[in-house]
Amino acid sequence: MLHQLEGSQAIAKAVALCRPGMVCAYPITPQTHIVEHLGELIHAEELWNCDYVNVESEMAAISVTIGSQAAGVRSYTATSSQGLLYMQEGVYNASGLELPMVMTLGNRAIGSPINIWNDHSDAMSVRDAGWIMLFPETNQEAADLHIQAFKIAETLQCPVMVCVDGFVLTHAYERVDIPSPEMVDDFLPHYEPRFCLDAANPLAIGTMVPPEYFMEVRYLAHKKQLGALKIIEQVGKDFYKKFDRHSGGLIRTYKTEEAKTIIVAMGSVLGTIKDTVDELNAQGEKYGVVSVVSYRPFPAEALRAALAHAQHVVVVEKALAVGTGGILFQELELPLKNIVRKISSIIAGLGGRAITKSMLKYALKQDEREIFLGLDQNVVAEKIQLVKSCCCK
Amino acid sequence: MTTLTIGNRLDDKDAAEQSKYNRYNGITSGHRACQGCGEALAARCVVDVAHRVTGGNIAVVNATGCLEVFSCVYPENSWRIPWLHSLFGNAAAVATGVASAFVISGKKDMRVIAQGGDGSTSDIGLGCLSGMFDRNDDVLYVCYDNQAYMNTGVQRSSATPILARTATTLPVRGYMGNAAGTGKNVPQIAMAHEIPYVATASICNIRDLEEKISKAILLKGSRYVHVHVPCPLGWGYPPSETVRIARMAVECGLFPLFEAENGVVVGSTPIDNPKPVEEYLRAQRRFAHLFGKNAPPEIIETIQQIASRNLEKYRLSGEFSHE
């Protein structure tokens, strides 16, 4: 059924349709509206047989979720930015324990300097944590990917993080189709844990693993992630069959067939990029777009296939590895080596800096390997001068 | 009137769970604890009696620490109960999740124990523990207090007693070990949350420990039991002396045994003739510097005063006695 919904509400409704037995989170902007709405749904008994635990920190939020999932209940949490950093030990723990929980990450910059606005620094900080990480482009896809996330998590016995752009998606109102409970129940059956804490069948979960076995454990985690590529694609296809809507999958292409230059990006910025490409192509240019939906596992092969014919690949990303550069850019460089002649990096939108069509058009005309979109050199120079003149005396 | 003499232990009703031939043995032998480990002994008492009282319906969440490390190095495992280890500082929160999940999935008889050492309880896990108390989550938290980070090589925790020597409070000229006026009293912190039940116990009194656990495991809401467990390695005494050392701590008043309900002390184990703390301190190498030639003579008195205050505070002279 169609609704005019805030992104957070759409996500909350989708999560509720998945019938979790545990929702546990700690307040942090811009994730809060999601769990506020879930709390409302639980108290109104629209979501029943589900506990909502108000905790004292993100560390507790992920820990409660770990506990409930290990005891055999479908569990959900949400966080952003500093919250993700604060719970990071638990993030690694959840994937190590193979607990199929789902988390929404309301993407936000990491401080210092403190900044509540959107970029992908938080998600990038856990890119090696063993979670599946999906980046929706719209509110509709954000809602849909949560339904898929539980399915993927439980099929693989691996936690899934849905990385939703803070404010741009979480706080924006859009038309969203929320499926019926019956259809979601049919798509996502009742959760049957493969293992859990059970008095009839005592099991020790989370034992210490010595060097003789640790390598194998990590290797298996790696194989599982690689195997997830197939599952994610399949779940996307199954979702289309059931709900008649394309959401998820590994990557999506837009006007790439004829394109000479292809832009690669993740999340909500793709809307602006596609508009930009449409305008440029109307003037006779040949641009295309590839959306990375599944960032972890990284769909290197699918990307290679989609980008092989391009003369130039431009990676637009809302994150920066200080000291090395664009993260998605670096991850694409290797798979495209000797295939694509030229690949360049645009770092954009850090800390919520606006990304506009005109800025993108301007940047696409530059012949530089690395561009910081909309960087104000005057502010940079001023800051350098200020630091030089600083003195504690 | 019955007396608790040896003979009565043959009577099943009065026998300690640990003395029974059919005790559950929740932690099987073969684990890697040091000889004379007080924590291993206490944890087995706790798990076995909780298993008996609940008819086997328990699950345990364990914090990182000695107990976790010595009991389950893959592929070996000593636990004969559903057992979960997540992290060092989150056992209380994980247990909250487990307890909630049992309710949601209709396993209403299941009781949850969270357990950890003094480091995971008083330091790194205190936030999660306080949160659990605050919400009055249905978990029994058991702290095995050996008064330092033994697993990492005896570093100071906020449960380390004053003037004790640890690897990070080594006495040198002009410094007599762990600073006075520091440390946390977690049973009192627990009581400040006004949770239904708080108790202290010691492995020198297994019946008392078992009785408190039997009571606590069946109560609803947050419960906290703090068990004094001497550590031969960290405290510096022969492994055969663990129980004796524990008894000395209780008998001098440094480790008072008491129970509190909803934030109020409701009973304590009386001490007939409190022993001087010196006897307890002299038995351990971690206090050896207090008796060296550089030690100020009044230093033992400082510790004696703590014991004396406990005698008064917890009314250890016997007013609480139920008999």
B238 touches chain A (CB under 8 A): no
Strands (E), B86-188: 111-117, 140-145
Where are the domain boundaries for CATH 3.40.50.970 in chain A? 2-243
B32 touches chain A (CB under 8 A): no
Spatial separation of the C-alpha atoms in residues A12 and A25, rounded to whole Å? 13
Preferred mutation among A99, A197, A203, A205 to probe B, highest tally of B CBs within 10 A: A197
C-alpha angle B61-B65-B71 in degrees, rounded to nearest 5:
70
In percent, the amount of chain A with pLDDT more than 70 equals 100
What's the rounded mean pLDDT across residues A259-279?
98
Mean pLDDT, chain B, whole residue set: 94
Which three-class secondary structure state does DSSP give residue A389? Answer: helix
- What's the pLDDT at A392? 74
- For the B21-313 domain, the top CATH level (class) is alpha beta
Residue A152 has pLDDT above 80, yes or no: yes
Q: Give the distance from CA A167 to its chain's centroid.
A: 14
Task: Give me the architecture of the A251-378 domain, per CATH.
Answer: 3-Layer(aba) Sandwich (3.40)
B92: closest CA of chain A, how far (Å): 9
Point out the residue among B72, B102, B135 whose CB comes nearest to the CB of A71. B102
DSSP lists the bridge partners of residue B60 as B83, B113
Spatial separation of the C-alpha atoms in residues A220 and A310, rounded to whole Å? 35
Other Cβ atoms within 10 Å of B135 Cβ, number? 19
Using the Cα atoms of residue A54, residue A56, residue A59 and residue A64 in order, give the sign of their dihedral. Answer: negative
A197 touches chain B (CB under 8 A): yes
Among B7-11, B139-143, B233-237, B316-320, the range scoring the smallest mean pLDDT is B7-11
- What's the pLDDT at A147? 98
Mean pLDDT, chain A, whole residue set: 97
Residue of A nearest to B63 (CA): A206
- What's the pLDDT at B172? 92
Are A205 and B57 a contacting pair at CB < 8 A? no
What's the rounded mean pLDDT across residues B155-159?
98
Residue of B nearest to A56 (CA): B131
What's the rounded mean pLDDT across residues A80-84?
98
Preferred mutation among B31, B73, B80, B98 to probe A, highest tally of A CBs within 10 A: B98
- What's the pLDDT at A75? 98
- What's the pLDDT at A244? 97
Query: A293-308 burial, b for 16+ CB within 10 Å, e for fewer?
Result: bbbbbbbbebbeebbe
B62: closest CA of chain A, how far (Å): 9
State the DSSP string of B181-217: T----HHHHHHHTT-SEEEEEETT-HHHHHHHHHHHH
Residue numbers in B near A49 (CB within 8 A): 104
Preferred mutation among B25, B71, B80, B87 to probe A, highest tally of A CBs within 10 A: B87
Spatial separation of the C-alpha atoms in residues A184 and A324, rounded to whole Å? 43
Q: What are phi and psi of B186, to 5 degrees?
A: -65, -40
Are A21 and B131 a contacting pair at CB < 8 A? no
Contact in structure between A345 and A352 (CB atoms under 8 Å): no
B51 touches chain A (CB under 8 A): no
Q: Which band of pLDDT confidence, cut at 50, 70 and 90, is reported for residue B6? A: low
pLDDT in tens, A172-221: 999 999 999 999 999 999 999 999 999 999 999 999 999 999 999 999 99
Q: ipTM of the predicted structure? A: 0.96
In percent, the amount of chain B with pLDDT more than 70 equals 95
- What's the pLDDT at B11? 67
B75 touches chain A (CB under 8 A): yes
Point out the residue among B57, B96, B102 whose CB comes nearest to the CB of A64. B96
B85 touches chain A (CB under 8 A): yes
B28 touches chain A (CB under 8 A): no
A59 touches chain B (CB under 8 A): yes
What's the rounded mean pLDDT across residues A265-271?
98
Residue type, A97: L
Please report, for residues A72, A84, B171, B229, B296, the alpha-carbon distance to residue B246 in angstroms, rounded to integers and kept in the order given: 40, 43, 24, 7, 26
pLDDT in tens, A334-391: 999 999 999 999 999 999 999 999 999 999 999 899 999 999 999 999 999 998 888 7
- What's the pLDDT at B323? 42
- What's the pLDDT at A393? 66
Q: Which band of pLDDT confidence, cut at 50, 70 and 90, is reported for residue B2? A: very low
Residue numbers in A near B69 (CB within 8 A): 208
- Helix boundaries (H) for chain A: 7-17, 32-43, 58-70, 81-86, 88-96, 121-124, 139-156, 181-187, 211-243, 269-282, 300-307, 327-333, 357-365, 377-389
What's the rounded mean pLDDT across residues A296-311?
98
> In the sheet that A261-265 helps form, which strands lie side by side, from edge to edge?
A251-254, A287-292, A261-265, A312-317, A342-347, A370-372
In percent, the amount of chain A with pLDDT more than 90 equals 98
pLDDT in tens, B56-98: 999 999 999 999 999 999 999 999 999 999 999 999 999 999 9
Rg (CA), chain B: 19
Task: Give me the architecture of the A2-243 domain, per CATH.
Answer: 3-Layer(aba) Sandwich (3.40)
What's the rounded mean pLDDT across residues B113-123?
98
A202 touches chain B (CB under 8 A): yes
Please report, for residues A244, A245, B117, B277, the alpha-carbon distance to residue A237 in angstroms, rounded to integers and kept in the order given: 10, 9, 49, 73
B176 touches chain A (CB under 8 A): no
Preferred mutation among A58, A64, A215 to probe B, highest tally of B CBs within 10 A: A64
Burial (CB < 10 A; 0-12, 13-18, 19+), residue A219, is: exposed
Other Cβ atoms within 10 Å of A281 Cβ, number? 15
User: Which tokens go with A336?
Assistant: 């495209």
